[in-house]
Chains A and B, each alone.
Chain A
């Protein structure tokens, strides 16, 4: 009997603290929150190359030979020639939505496109192209929710709706009655 009452006490304390948690995280009626930016699967999964562009948010780096590759976070890869290190030259830009990672071997760039692994042939400039793709190698890069700047903050966002397309980013806006938060 005593044991039962101890268990009951533990249970009720758990329940009590649980209630407090729910009270604490109840979403406000209106707040700063994130709205998904959607793209069609065809557009989000199109790999293409173009002229150099400005570095806005430089990410991870990789080098081979005289070439340096730098991720432009979430949008692609800068290709830079530093044969003359005093005067490195941007050569071009490879577009890959949600790009974060890269490796290069034998003129083939391995990177992520959203959550897929893609291999891009850059051996012929007139024909920079995706030559293979393995889907969903990086499930955690699919942007199902906006990133938190630290583990303690609570952020609110409009719940993702897969029927609207693939999420390629989040916009901070004033939102009403958010249904999703983390």
Chain B
């Protein structure tokens, strides 16, 4: 009896999963999805870009069964995160934000770097055409003296200008959708900023009760990596007012 129920459960799981892979094929036919801001590799077009502690590596993946290594570019030290936007890559290190152009996707070219005044912090970056936001966390293994959200004007992509610094508790990943910027602050919650004025984020609320590490704003859903698992929020009606939907903690 037990074996039969185990078998049925197994078949059910297989059924669910085979359903899911079909869906994933349909929904994501020729595109990659979205990752969090603290990722160390990302897919852009037919390329996979990987950062290790010191360098950026490019792999051509049009044939997934034969990833082809294309280039390795020395970037700096303590490289931590990579974030794609359009034909650019934003790379965060413990002391610097680097911007790379993908006009030659085989071999990304550095177009700018902005050194933080605050050294030795963990620092994911998100960006669009005109603005880049980075969080600098001074606690934990990265050390440093001050945690902050920093705002760069990148209208001139080759020379980012620091336009704002907002003191924070312990920021981790971040994400943005339309006029909303989400900043994960670990035990201090998820801060939501109105970025109608992109260079002057205005905090509109702080969601508490979970330990927030990273977010992906994906269409109508905000996916949050929290301690123990993940949580989903509805951001369809108002991105500035994420509404809790569900979470999986085990």
The reply to whether A63 and B228 form a contact with Cβ atoms under 8 Å apart is no
- Determine the chain B residues whose CB is within 8 A of the CB of A64 once the complex forms: 24, 27-28, 31-34
Contact A58 B225 (CB under 8 A): yes
Q: Is residue A47 within 8 Å, beta carbon to beta carbon, of the partner chain?
A: no
Is the Cβ of B67 less than 8 Å from the Cβ of A119?
A: yes
| Closest chain B residue, CB of each to CB of A52 | B13
Interface stretch among B45-53, B99-107, B186-194?
A: B45-53
Chain B interface residue count, Cβ-Cβ cutoff 8 angstroms: 64
A138 near B52 (CB under 8 angstroms)? yes
Contact of B223 (CB < 8 Å), options: A63, A79, A126: A63
Given contacts A60-B225, A124-B21, contact A149 B141 (CB under 8 A): yes
CB <8 Å contact, A62 and B34: yes
* B13 contacts A61, C-beta separation under 8 Å: no
B228 touches A58 (CB 8 A): yes
The answer to whether A91 and B13 touch across the interface, beta carbons within 8 angstroms, is yes
Identify A107's interface contact among B24, B65, B142, B229, CB under 8 A.
Answer: B24
Supposing A65-B23, A147-B141 touch, asked if A87 and B246 sit within 8 A by C-beta, the answer is yes
What count of chain A residues pass the 8 Å CB interface test? Answer: 60
Q: Are A132 and B64 in contact (CB under 8 A)?
A: yes
Give bound CA distance, A151 to B48, whole Å. 31
Q: Are A70 and B229 interface neighbours, CB within 8 A?
A: yes
Closest to A108 in B: B64
User: Which residues of B28-44 are within 8 A (CB) of A?
Assistant: 28-36, 38-43
**Residues on B with beta carbons closer than 8 Å to the beta carbon of A85:** 221, 232, 234, 245-246
Residues of A within 8 A of B61 (CB): 105, 110, 119
Asked whether A125 and B57 contact (CB < 8 A) given A62-B34, A64-B34, A91-B13, the answer is no
Q: In the complex the two chains form, is B25's CB within 8 Å of A117's CB?
A: no
Q: Which residues of B contact A140 (CB under 8 A)?
A: 52-53
Residues of A within 8 A of B85 (CB): none
The chain B residue with its CB closest to the CB of A67 is: B24
B247 → chain A, closest Cβ, in Å?
A: 8
B207 CB to nearest chain A CB (Å): 17
Q: CB-CB < 8 A to A124: which residues of B?
A: 18, 21
Given contacts A104-B33, A117-B67, A125-B18, could you give 17 more A-B pairs where the C-beta distance is less than 8 Å?
Answer: A62-B39, A63-B33, A64-B33, A81-B20, A82-B221, A85-B234, A102-B35, A103-B41, A104-B28, A105-B33, A105-B61, A107-B24, A107-B25, A124-B21, A126-B18, A134-B59, A149-B141
22 residue pairs of the A-B complex, CB under 8 angstroms, read A51-B10, A58-B226, A58-B230, A60-B36, A60-B39, A62-B34, A63-B33, A65-B26, A66-B20, A66-B23, A67-B23, A81-B20, A83-B23, A85-B234, A86-B245, A87-B246, A90-B248, A91-B20, A92-B13, A103-B43, A106-B25, A138-B52
Give the 4 A-B residue pairs with the shortest CB-CB distance, closest first: A64-B33, A65-B27, A105-B32, A64-B28
